[in-house]
Amino acid sequence: MSEIRESVHGQWSSRWAFVLAATGSAVGLGNIWKFPYITGENGGGAFVLVYLVCIAIIGIPIMMAEIMLGRRGRQSPMNTMRTLALEAGSTPHWAWLGWMGVLAGFLILSYYSVIAGWALAYVFRTGIGTFDGQTADGVAHIFQSFLADPEGLLFWHTLFMVMTMLVVARGVSGGLEKAVKFLMPGLFVILLILLGYALSTDGFGEGVTFLFKPDFDALLFKVGEDGVKIWNPGPVLTALGHAFFTLSLGMGAIMIYGSYLPSNASIARTTFIIAGADTAVALLAGMVIFPIVFANGLEPSAGPGLLFQSLPLAFGHMPWGAFFGTLFFILLVFAAWSSSISLIEPAVTWLVENHGMDRLKASVVMGIACWAFGLLTVFSFNVWSDVRLLPMFETFADKSIFDLLDYLTANIMLPLGGLLIAIFAGWVMRTEATRDELDMGEGLAYRLWLALVRFVTPVAVIVVFLHAIEIINVG
Ligand code: TRP
């Protein structure tokens, strides 16, 4: 029955087109901007190790499940979930999973676009030589005054949102599919060049040690006021959440991309390629950024500005720095661009399917709404930097609007979505259906996958959640 279902939104031209698009979705700001800064905030090596374990035992099986659901349902996540649930004799309420995903994608894009706007702005700054010969203080100062100017941030956020909607309106299997083919390898090459520079700094050893030498004390405990160590499960949840974020999982993006996948492509092999490329880019970014951080006496825990306060130092001092810097930020913008379209694609397909809108109108409607919501993030870096939306919760009391949005989406909504996807694929769908769709035979590989989605993912997500929620005390 699944063979005859076709997506009304089209199909990828080949398995490779899907791999490219899904890699384009996975590799983005999450790898180059977010991974280094949360690693720096959470003490380095042990955090990286937990993140890698989460990718291997949770991210990969969930990605396979999500692609599988998408390809079997071939509709927007809500309609796919409803169809497949009815097919399995379960309740149509599973469509709510699709709704939560649409909301998560919307919220993420609202701040993702603002940060991508920073990258856009830095294309020009690097290009005109703003960072030539700058000191660490100078670079930090430039970044701070950039953040302090809401109109500037608004301009770049607007530009990026318009770029995103232009592609979404034309359909994702159009031009971007081709662009990703050149841009991803380009990004990889420029990171290798920067790695060469990082090797030449005297911070390389320290940077790599920070990134790969696990210190579980730094991960699991924080030091309280009187010097006593307090158990702190937050960073483990952040690592888990980031595994979902970086692979674009838990909200239907990969599901909707899977719905355009030809029926004969191997889901497992495809998943390994995407997850491998994504992890490689993140680790490479860390190996470039931390040596520069240590060589210049910067703080690894500088937060969201880490990338923008460290790399410009390299561009200001290396040969051809302005050239490589401009190229780097251009590629970063493209990586963000190919990610952002997947954040809004589920919402747009739903407007097309259920409200009879054409793609252009649906894109404009969603784009404007998301842009407006993004103003919260724009202002959270300047005029509203002291605003706290949920001061009554300990976990949220010190979080700006941007930090709160990031926490709610990456640490709560995506793992929750992933948990439900695992339960659906492992327990609700009949094993004949999943075995048929994954097409891995009945051997060890299939049984391993089934055990991971049935037991490992649900238990891991629930345990980490329960621990983290313990610290969400009303107080
Ligand atoms: N994975 C992207 C990144 O690392 C961001 C992203 C795109 C995403 N689509 C998503 C995150 C869907 C969560 C869900 O930059």
Q: DSSP of 376-419, one letter per residue?
A: HHHHHTTTTTT--S-TTBTTTTT--HHHHHHIIIIIIIHHHHHH
| pLDDT level of residue 473 (50, 70, 90 thresholds) | very low
Give the position, in ligand 1's atom list, of the atom nearest the Cα of 336: 15
Instruction: Kindly give the distance from the C-alpha atom of residue 105 to the centroid of ligand 1, in angstroms, as a whole number.
Output: 8
* Atom nearest to 249 CA in ligand 1: 14
Q: Give the SS3 label for residue 232.
A: coil
Q: Does pLDDT of 10 surpass 80?
A: no
Q: What's the average model confidence in pLDDT over 102-118?
A: 97
Confidence of residue 471 (pLDDT cuts 50, 70, 90): low
Q: What are the residues whose beta carbons fall under 8 Å from the beta carbon of 340, sequence distance 6 or more? A: 28, 109, 112, 113, 116, 160, 164
Q: How far is the CA of 261 from the centre of ligand 1 (A)?
A: 19
How far is ligand 1, taken at its centre, from the CA of residue 333, in Å? 14
Which atom from ligand 1 is nearest to the alpha carbon of 253?
Answer: 12
Q: Containing H/E element for 336?
A: helix 321-355
Number of the ligand 1 atom closest to the C-alpha atom of 250? 14
Residue 440: which pLDDT band, with cuts at 50, 70 and 90?
A: confident
Closest CA to 91 of 100, 102, 99, 82: 82
pLDDT greater than 70 at residue 474: no
Longest Cα–Cα distance of the chain, Å, equals 66
Residue 349: what pLDDT? 86
List, chain by chain if needed, residues with CB within 6 Å of any ligand 1 atom: 25-26, 28-31, 105, 108, 245-246, 248, 251, 253, 339, 342-343, 414
Residue whose Cα lies nearest atom 6 of ligand 1: it is 248
Ligand 1 test: best mutation among 25, 180, 247, most atoms within 8 Å of CB?
25
216 vs 395, more confident: 216
Dihedral sign from CA coordinates of 18, 24, 25, 26 = positive
Residue 211 has pLDDT above 90, yes or no: yes
Mean of the pLDDT values across residues 167-190? 79
Atom of ligand 1 nearest to the CA of 31: 4
Q: How close is the Cα of 244 to the center of ligand 1, in Å?
A: 8
SS3 319: coil
Check residues 4 and 436 and name the one with the higher pLDDT: 436
The pLDDT of residue 470:
63
**pLDDT confidence of residue 141:** 97
134-174 pLDDT, tens digit each: 999 999 999 999 999 999 999 999 999 999 999 888 876 66
Q: Where are the domains of the chain?
A: 15-470
Nearest CA to ligand 1 atom 10: 248
Mean pLDDT of the 339-360 span = 90
pLDDT at residue 218 greater than cutoff 90: no
Alpha helices in 171-266 (DSSP H): 175-200, 204-212, 216-220, 234-246, 253-258
Dihedral pair phi/psi, residue 430, rounded to 5° = -70, 145
- Mean pLDDT computed over every residue of the chain: 92
Mean pLDDT calculated for residue range 170-196: 82
pLDDT for 172 equals 64
Distance 215 CA to ligand 1 centre (A): 28
- What percent of the chain is modeled with pLDDT above 70? 96
Regarding predicted confidence, which is higher, 14 or 22?
22
Instruction: Kindly state the average pLDDT of the residues 185-213.
Output: 95
Q: What pLDDT is attached to residue 310?
A: 96
Structure tokens that stand for 458 in this block: 């649900």
Mean pLDDT for 21-44 is 96
Over 80: is that where the pLDDT of 8 sits? no
From 342, 406, 411, 421, mutation site for ligand 1 pocket: most ligand atoms within 8 A of C-beta: 342
Indicate which atom in ligand 1 lies nearest the CA of residue 343: 9
pLDDT confidence bin for 176, thresholds 50/70/90: low
The average pLDDT across 244-270 equals 91
For position 2, what pLDDT does the model report?
A: 44
Percentage of the chain exceeding pLDDT 90:
77
Instruction: Give the distance (Å) from ligand 1 centre to CA of residue 200.
Output: 32
Distance (Å, rounded) from C-alpha 430 to C-alpha 418? 19
Atom of ligand 1 nearest to the CA of 104: 14
Which of the listed residues 62, 240, 343 should we mutate to test ligand 1's pocket, taking the one with most ligand atoms within 8 A of CB? Answer: 343
CATH topology of domain 15-470: Hydantoin permease (1.10.4160)
